[in-house]
């Protein structure tokens, strides 16, 4: 990361992804749901929910807005996106 600004941008993205992970986990935990319960409500399997909750930390796959919307809806929340 020799180019100016690249390290700062990577760090900014990591903070955003960490905030997303925190929000996902908080939504599920505040709803008092297990990964299996969220998966059932989403119409998928628990390992898929586990992967979704790890995505920001691993950076291997970015979930779609539709997937995030289904996850938070399963937790009794709604997804709000903001462009700033």
pLDDT at 1 over 60: no
More confident residue, 6 or 34: 34
Q: Which domain covers residue 52, as residue numbers?
A: 6-74
Confidence of residue 28 (pLDDT cuts 50, 70, 90): very high
* Residue 84 forms part of a structural domain: no
Nearest to 64 by CA among 55, 77, 78: 55
* Residue 17 forms part of a structural domain: yes
* Residue 13 forms part of a structural domain: yes
* Residue 79 forms part of a structural domain: no
pLDDT at 36 over 80: yes
Question: Model's pTM, two decimal places?
Answer: 0.78
Total number of domains in the chain = 1
* Residue 49 forms part of a structural domain: yes
């Amino acid at each position: 990361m020799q180019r100016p600004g690249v390290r700062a941008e990577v760090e900014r993205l990591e903070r955003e992804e960490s905030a997303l992970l925190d929000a996902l986990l908080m939504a599920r935990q505040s709803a008092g749901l297990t990964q299996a319960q969220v998966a059932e409500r989403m119409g998928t399997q628990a390992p898929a929910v586990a992967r979704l909750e790890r995505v920001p930390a691993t950076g291997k796959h970015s979930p779609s807005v539709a997937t995030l919307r289904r996850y938070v809806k399963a937790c009794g929340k709604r997804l709000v996106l903001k462009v700033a």
